[in-house]
Amino acid sequence: MFLEHVNMSVKDIERSIEFYQGALGFEPRWRGRNSDGGPAVHIGNAVNYIALIQADGENGQAPREWERAGLNHFGWVVKDLDAAKQRLADLGVKPHFEADYEPGRRLYFFDPDGIEVELVEYPQ
């Protein structure tokens, strides 16, 4: 079993596409409309992806409330965390937390809508 996709509503779908292309090297797999007729895109690789939907409501940042039930962050395994960190730096994104832990290394950052993303590198 594996996770195929995460579905997220974003304020500006084109900005999010550009961000995830730069940050994770993802490419659009599908573009179309969601069931309500709004813009939608699947961006990822051949195995998994992020389903992005253009939000039509509140324009604030995604809530980050660890005290409430909900999504706190999602994580992606990368082969080279230092290279991934450089990609983020090239986008002007600074991780807000980094740590080495058994059995690997990780860092956390926020996307343009305030959604927290974790990158993890495990020993080869």
**What pTM, to 2 d.p., does this model score?**
0.86
Segments making up each domain of the chain, as ranges: 5-57+72-121
Pairing of β 74-77 and β 116-121:
parallel
CATH dotted code for 5-57+72-121: 3.10.180.10
Give the H/E segment covering residue 67: none
For the chain, 124 residues long, give each residue's pLDDT as a single digit of tens. Answer: 888 999 999 999 999 999 999 999 999 999 999 888 889 999 999 999 999 999 876 555 556 666 666 778 999 999 999 999 999 999 999 999 999 988 999 999 999 999 999 999 999 8
Pairing of β 39-44 and β 116-121:
unpaired
Choose among 32, 48, 28: nearest CA to 40. 32
**Contact (Cβ atoms closer than 8 angstroms) between residue 10 and residue 52:** yes
Whole-angstrom Cα Rg for the chain = 15
